[in-house]
Amino acid sequence: MNSSTRRARIISTGSYIPERVLSNDDLSRMVETDDEWIRERTGIGERRINTSMKNHEMAVIAAKRALEASGLSPLDIDLVIASTVTNDNYTPALACHVQAGVGAKNAFAFDINAGCSGFVYALDTASAFISASRPGTRQVNNVLIVCSEVLSRITDYTDRTSCVLFGDGAGAAVVCADSEHGLLSSYIKTDGTGADSITAPALTSVIANDDGTIENNPDKITEGLKMNGRKVFTFAVKAIPEALSEALKAADVTADELKYVIMHQANIRIINSAVERLGIDPEKAPVNIERYGNTSSASVPILLDELNRAGKLQRGDKLAIEGFGSGLTYGAAIIEW
C-alpha cells in the first residue's frame, strides 16, 4: 500500500456502560428540576454513573471488547490513543494505563483532550499516523482508540443547568490501515475564543504567602464543571452543519448517500436542529441520549458500538460521525465502513 491508499478503517468496536442508573426522578430529589423539563429540553431520561472504578478501568474494559472483536492480538497494536476530559490523573496519560491493561506491549500511547469531539479528533489523528508511515518513521498499521469519561467526577450536582446532562461511559475502536475502505474525509476545527463556555478548572491552585511559602487554595479545591449552556447550544447548531457539510464535500459524498449520521449525544434538540438544517432523514440519525445522557467523547463510539453489535453496519456503508464540545472544538468525518 502506498501512503495515498492507506486509509484508516474501523474494524471493530467496544464499549463499557456503568451499571448504576441516575434517573431524572433521582435528580429531582437533588436539585429543583423534574422529569418533564429534562426530557423536553434535552431528550435525556437517565444516565449511568460510575461509582466504583477508576476511569482507566472502564477504558480497559471497552478497549478489550474492541480488541476481542477485531481478532488482532494486543501485540499487533502500534498506537493507543485515549480521549478524555476526566482522566484519573494529570499524569500519566489514560492511554498508558490502557496500553498496559490490554497488553499492547509494542504500542506507543498518548491522550488527547478535545472535549466531546474527542473521537473525531482521535480518528483523524490515527489516520494521519497510518498514512504518514514510511521507512525511517514509526510504522503505524493498527491503532486502538478509546474514549472514556467519568463526568460525574467533575459535575456540580448543585447546578441544575448542567448536572442533568452528563453521564459516564467508555467507547473504543480498533482502526487499521486498509487499501479500500475507511476514512474518506475529515474536517476538524477549534474556536478557542469560546474556551470559557465549558470549563472544569484544575482541582486546586496555590496561594503565595509573604514568607515565600505557598499553600493550596482551599476555595479552588472543589470547583467543578461550569457551562454556559445557551452559548454552547448556539455554537453547536451552527458548528455541526458546517462540519458535516465540509466533510461531505471533501469526500464527494451527498447526505442522501449516508446510511447513518452518528452525532454527539448532547441534546436531542441540537441533534434535531442539525438534521433539519442538513435536510437529513431523522431516521438516519440514531440516538441513545435517552439512556445515557451526554458522555462527552465516549458518546459517538458508544453509539457506533451499539449499531455495530446490532448488525446494522455493512461493509461499504457510508457513515458520518460528528462531535462538538469544550474548547470549543468541533468536527466531522465521512467513513466507508
Q: Give the interface with ligand ACO as residue ranges (CB under 6 A).
A: 33, 37-38, 41-42, 85, 115-116, 160-161, 164, 198, 227, 229-230, 232-233, 236, 266-267, 294, 296, 325-326
Rounded distance between C-alpha atoms, residue 15 and residue 322, angstroms: 18
Q: Are strands 108-112 and 142-150 parallel, antiparallel or unpaired?
A: unpaired
Provide the minimum distance between the beta carbon of 145 and ligand ACO in the complex, in angstroms, as a whole number.
18
Instruction: Output 260 or 330, the one with its CB closest to ligand ACO.
Output: 330
Q: Are strands 79-83 and 108-112 parallel, antiparallel or unpaired?
A: parallel
- Look up residue 219 and give its DSSP letter: G
Say whether 319 sits in a helix, a strand or coil.
Answer: strand
Q: Known catalytic residue: 97?
A: no
**Options 55, 96, 116, 267, the catalytic residue:** 116
Q: Which residue is closest to ligand ACO by CB?
A: 229
Query: The dihedral of CA 266, 312, 337, 56: what is its sign?
Result: positive
Provide the minimum distance between the beta carbon of 149 and ligand ACO in the complex, in angstroms, as a whole number.
8
**Options 50, 96, 264, 267, the catalytic residue:** 264
C-alpha cell at 37: 423539563
Provide the minimum distance between the beta carbon of 260 and ligand ACO in the complex, in angstroms, as a whole number.
20
Instruction: Output 174 or 200, the one with its CB closest to ligand ACO.
Output: 200
Instruction: Output 21 or 268, the one with its CB closest to ligand ACO.
Output: 268
Rounded distance between C-alpha atoms, residue 43 and residue 164, angstroms: 11
Provide the minimum distance between the beta carbon of 265 and ligand ACO in the complex, in angstroms, as a whole number.
9
Instruction: Output 182 or 325, the one with its CB closest to ligand ACO.
Output: 325
Q: Known catalytic residue: 294?
A: yes
User: Beta-strand (E) ranges in 140-181?
Assistant: 142-150, 168-178
User: Residues near 100 by Cβ (< 8 Å), separated by ≥ 6?
Assistant: none
Residue 309: count other Cβ atoms within 10 Å of its Cβ: 14
Q: Quick one: which of 182, 334, 330 has its CA closest to 243?
A: 330
Instruction: Output 28 or 106, the one with its CB closest to ligand ACO.
Output: 28
Q: Known catalytic residue: 264?
A: yes
Phi and psi angles of residue 203, each rounded to the nearest 5 degrees, phi first = -65, -25
- Look up residue 326 and give its DSSP letter: T
Q: Quick one: which of 293, 203, 299, 187 has its CA closest to 245?
A: 187
Instruction: Output 92 or 229, the one with its CB closest to ligand ACO.
Output: 229
**Options 24, 55, 267, 294, the catalytic residue:** 294
Provide the minimum distance between the beta carbon of 264 and ligand ACO in the complex, in angstroms, as a whole number.
8
Provide the minimum distance between the beta carbon of 155 and ligand ACO in the complex, in angstroms, as a whole number.
9
Give catalytic residues, as residue numbers. 116, 264, 294
